[in-house]
Amino acid sequence: MRAKTRIRQPASVYMTRPAKTAFALLLLAAMALAFVSCTPREQRFSMSWFDYFDTVITLTVYADDRAVFGEMSGKTGECFERYHRLFDIYNEYEGVNNLASVNRMAGEEVAVDADVIELLMLGREYERLTDGALNIAMGAVLKLWHDARENAAKDPQNASIPDEDALRAAAQHCDIDKMIIDAERSTVTLLDAEMSVDVGAIAKGYAADRAADILKGYGCPFLLNCGGAVLAYGVKPDGESWTAGILDPSGTGFIETVDVSDTALSTSGSYLRTFSAGGRDYGHIIDPATLMPADKTVSMSVMIPADAGACFADALSTACFILGPERAAELLAAAEGAEGIFVGGSGKTSHIGKKR
Ligand code: ADP
Ligand code: MG
């Protein structure tokens, strides 16, 4: 029988910026870019990556031996590297057309990998499902907020939010119906040369799903945490479920610990990637209705059955965050087996859907 504290050790789902930095530095100091740990008796292995999707990715597995885990983690790393490159909207890489290429060549037909096509098609589906709240074709607007955040990081004294007229002008170039996908030819054309795609809301979940497709083949219980997009399959060898902690947005502890075995969990929060300007904080999730950071809640977590996918959970958590508790309840009611946990400004949590 293992110590209770060990069994209950939650996976870190979402961290405040200082906690995330401290966590990353601690791990970096100990092990450069990646680490492997193993408790021989339990054969529990874990490895983290810090180079992909601007976040920390951690894989934890119970396996028979180190060689099996070595293979699983090797393939997981390759998988995240591949999707990191394909879905990067800021940098292009030699020999491949990625989303940065699609954005740069807006107005032209661009040949892309089949996975890029699939992600964009999912994005289109989520836009319909969320009544436009989640719109991956909103790159023009999101870029203005992204630049404001970057400028604020470089020069906090002169931080400012995007100009209202510039936001309104950018909003004229966010029509997802102008993103033409030819799945047979594996091409995408942004008909509006001033539009761009931003898949930040769903890319991590998609990559986690593809990694899980590989990992499931090994038949070992595992938990994959890609910066808040979590997928866990099976139970631990002692029959205990995998658990994940939902971070307290106002502190460093967990506000709630949830059972995530055979579950996809995603958390979207306004408190991680923020910047301050004129004494106010601005989050990174933008409400298309106001073109301003969504502020109906502080943190939103969505849990769905694992087979529905981390990409869907990722999309739902961002959309529910934007829509706020009431409209989120309608959206989650339409997603089979979905459960939501809101954390409001007062730190109070509210649950939507059946507690599984
Ligand atoms: P995180 O990436 O911090 O885990 P999310 O999954 O909620 O959080 O995604 C936030 C990202 O989604 C933003 O950084 C931005 O790239 C993108 N985004 C923000 N607002 C929207 C929106 N309304 N529709 C589509 N994508 C959005
Ligand atoms: Mg998301």
Chain segment 223-256, per-residue pLDDT in tens? 999 999 999 999 999 999 999 999 888 877 889 9
Share the mean pLDDT of the chain.
89
Domains: count for the chain: 1
In a domain, 218, yes or no: yes
Q: What token pair was written down for 145? A: 């907020």
**What's the confidence (pLDDT) of residue 21?**
46
Q: Which atom of ligand 1 is nearest to the CA of 287?
A: 23
In a domain, 341, yes or no: yes
| Strand ranges of the sheet holding 37-39, from the earlier edge strand across to the other edge | 37-39, 44-49, 57-62, 222-226, 229-233, 263-269, 299-305, 339-343, 349-352
- Statement: residue 99 has pLDDT above 80: yes
The pLDDT-based confidence of 79 (bands split at 50, 70, 90) is very high
Euclidean distance between the first and the last CA atom of the chain, given in angstroms as a whole number: 26
Q: Which atom of ligand 1 is nearest to the CA of 202?
A: 6
Nearest CA to ligand 1 atom 6: 201
**What's the confidence (pLDDT) of residue 253?**
86
CA-wise closest residue to 344 among 216, 213, 255, 241: 255
In a domain, 3, yes or no: no
- Residue-wise pLDDT for 12-58, tens only, equals 344 444 444 444 443 333 333 333 444 444 699 999 999 999 999 99
Per the structure, the complete domain to which residue 54 belongs is given by: 19-353
Report the pLDDT averaged over residues 94-100.
97
- Residue-wise pLDDT for 113-162, tens only, equals 999 999 999 999 999 999 999 999 999 999 999 999 999 999 999 999 99
In a domain, 343, yes or no: yes
Report the pLDDT averaged over residues 332-340.
94
**Ligand 1 environment, Cβ below 6 A:** 134-136, 138, 142, 198, 200-201, 227-228, 268, 272-273, 284-286, 288, 314, 317-318, 322
DSSP for residue 236 = -
The residue with greater pLDDT, 39 or 318, is 318
In a domain, 58, yes or no: yes
Nearest CA to ligand 1 atom 10: 201
In a domain, 203, yes or no: yes
Distance separating alpha carbons of residues 332 and 51, to the nearest angstrom = 32
In a domain, 85, yes or no: yes
In a domain, 312, yes or no: yes
* Cα-to-centroid distance, 168 and ligand 2 (Å): 24
Phi/psi at 93 (nearest 5 deg)? -125, 150
CATH number for 58? 3.10.520.10
pTM given for the model: 0.89
- Statement: residue 86 has pLDDT above 80: yes
Q: Quick check: 122 and 202 in contact, CB under 8 A?
A: yes
Nearest CA to ligand 1 atom 19: 285
**What's the confidence (pLDDT) of residue 248?**
86
The residue with greater pLDDT, 106 or 9, is 106
**What's the confidence (pLDDT) of residue 42?**
63
* Cα-to-centroid distance, 3 and ligand 2 (Å): 34
* Cα-to-centroid distance, 220 and ligand 1 (Å): 32
- Statement: residue 285 has pLDDT above 80: yes
Query: Could you give the percent of the chain with pLDDT greater than 90?
Result: 80
CA pseudo-torsion sign 83, 14, 146, 191: positive
CA-wise closest residue to 216 among 306, 114, 338: 306
Q: Which atom of ligand 1 is nearest to the CA of 53?
A: 2
Tell me which of 146, 316, 318, 327 to substitute to probe ligand 1's pocket, judged by most ligand atoms within 8 Å of the beta carbon.
318
Q: Which atom of ligand 1 is nearest to the CA of 314?
A: 6
